[in-house]
């Protein structure tokens, strides 16, 4: 019978989690039918059937994870049959199929084992060796205990019951209260494939990439005024331009002037990218994804705004494709809408740099010797010191600032 294996759905994928099965055991399946949705390290993707037949078994249930290549389901050629969900293979564990009948007064298996080793001593007090050892460890006089084992023998349960009865009344409630408090305070939340990948890649980035940081402040007064005019002219149904769209466009034009920043470090060599593809960090329930806008330097602001809006919507609905998540050469992470004064981002390998954007704030700045209220935005570039250097990144950031302050250059 044809086996359905966990496929490799991305270049960094090592395992996948079944988000849900769209077909159930007994369902007819045609070649090309979507069988299940799989959560990978980057997005949720579909698994299609390569054979026609009946879904015989589901090996990996919804919510479970399997490595690449593991069998997750089996398609047979027979007629539809009642739903059967097979468990994943488990190691053989011996189990009893029936209990040995015993009379009401006969000892349990455990107590019988102890009774075999019982040796009468201490003036005829009968106790199992384990019970005697426990009594010695706790300083218990066996004559104070009534045995419940065969012929009145003292067994482990008798010792444990005696110890429990001797405890102060307040000890047990305090213990239970402490355990209850710990249970309330602690919750174990399994990580999704996306969260595992974010943790792994960002840890690798900070451990292997020599980060350095350059910051600047940009006067966004003119940019905000132009944005307002452009959005008003577009009408109610027109595409609205965001501040982030303008920042992305400014970065793309600056990267044309500084191609070193549009580079990567791979296997001891510099790789300079001819395309300018900018990733935009998007906050999603499971963490963070970075869909990619391609050839940003040759697109207008409204085209960038349309594409960015579509990618953000797909990201938040967990419908991004693998192609939309790959190929970035530079990234922008904008927390301006979160009332953030400043932050430092982590580079998204193999890119050489990422721009962090904080909130726009009203600040008095000197203009012709007089304090004037302006819209000021702080930005920070995190850069890979193997590829670029401080002065180069500073000049790149100055060019981004120049483009956003002389904002009509973005329309050229």
Strands 211-219 and 282-284, by their bridges, are unpaired
Check if 211 is active-site: no
Check 211, 273, 385, 402 and give the catalytic one. Answer: 385
Q: Read off the DSSP letter of residue 128.
A: -
In three-state secondary structure terms, 301 is helix
Where are the extended beta strands (E) located within 138-199?
A: none
Q: Is 115 exposed, middle or buried (0-12, 13-18, 19+ CB in 10 A)?
A: middle
Torsion of CA 15, 21, 26, 29, to 10 degrees: -80
Q: Is 231 exposed, middle or buried (0-12, 13-18, 19+ CB in 10 A)?
A: middle
Strands 353-367 and 330-334, by their bridges, are parallel
Is the Cβ–Cβ distance between 332 and 280 less than 8 Å? Answer: yes
In three-state secondary structure terms, 178 is helix
In three-state secondary structure terms, 53 is strand
What is the distance between the alpha carbons of residues 191 and 242, in angstroms, rounded to a whole number? Answer: 33
Is the Cβ–Cβ distance between 302 and 245 less than 8 Å? Answer: no
What is the distance between the alpha carbons of residues 373 and 366, in angstroms, rounded to a whole number? Answer: 9
Report the number of secondary-structure helices (H) and strands (E) in the chain: 9, 18
- CA quadruple 389, 394, 397, 399: dihedral positive or negative? negative
Is the Cβ–Cβ distance between 43 and 318 less than 8 Å? Answer: yes
Catalytically active residues, by annotation: 385
């Amino acid at each position: 019978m044809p086996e359905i294996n966990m496929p490799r759905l991305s270049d960094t994928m090592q395992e996948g989690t079944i988000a849900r099965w769209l077909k159930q055991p007994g369902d007819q399946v045609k070649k090309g039918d979507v069988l299940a949705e799989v959560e990978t390290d980057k997005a949720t993707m579909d698994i299609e059937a390569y054979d026609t037949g009946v879904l015989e078994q589901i090996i990996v249930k919804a919510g479970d994870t399997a490595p690449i290549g593991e069998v997750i389901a089996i398609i047979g050629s027979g007629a539809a049959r009642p739903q059967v969900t097979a468990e994943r293979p488990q190691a053989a564990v011996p189990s009893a199929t029936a209990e040995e009948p015993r009379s009401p007064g006969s000892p349990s298996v455990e107590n019988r084992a102890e009774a075999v080793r019982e040796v009468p001593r201490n003036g005829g007090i009968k106790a199992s060796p384990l019970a005697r050892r426990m009594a010695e460890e706790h300083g218990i006089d066996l004559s104070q205990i009534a045995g419940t084992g065969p012929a009145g023998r003292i067994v482990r349960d008798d010792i444990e019951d005696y110890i429990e009865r001797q405890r102060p009344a307040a000890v047990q409630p305090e213990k239970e209260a402490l355990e209850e408090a710990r249970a309330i305070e602690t919750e174990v939340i399994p990580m999704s494939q996306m969260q595992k990948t974010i943790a792994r890649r960002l840890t690798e980035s900070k451990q292997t990439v020599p980060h350095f940081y350059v910051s600047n402040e940009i006067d966004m007064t003119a940019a905000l005024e132009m944005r307002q005019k452009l959005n008003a002219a577009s009408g109610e149904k027109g595409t609205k331009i965001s501040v982030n769209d303008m920042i992305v466009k400014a970065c793309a034009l600056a990267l044309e002037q500084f191609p070193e920043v549009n580079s990567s470090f791979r296997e001891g060599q510099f790789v300079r990218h001819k395309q300018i593809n900018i990733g935009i960090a998007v906050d999603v329930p499971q963490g963070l994804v970075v869909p990619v806008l391609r050839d940003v330097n040759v697109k207008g602001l409204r085209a960038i705004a349309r594409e960015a809006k579509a990618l953000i919507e797909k990201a938040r609905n967990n419908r991004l494709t693998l192609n939309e998540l790959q190929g970035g050469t530079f990234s922008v992470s904008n927390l301006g809408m979160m009332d953030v004064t400043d932050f430092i981002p982590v580079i998204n390998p193999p890119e050489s740099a990422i721009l962090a954007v904080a909130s726009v704030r009203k600040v008095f700045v000197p203009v012709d010797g007089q304090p004037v209220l302006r819209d000021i935005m702080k930005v920070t570039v995190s850069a890979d010191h193997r590829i670029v250097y401080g002065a180069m990144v500073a000049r790149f950031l100055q060019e981004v600032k120049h483009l956003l302050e002389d904002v009509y250059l973005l329309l050229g």
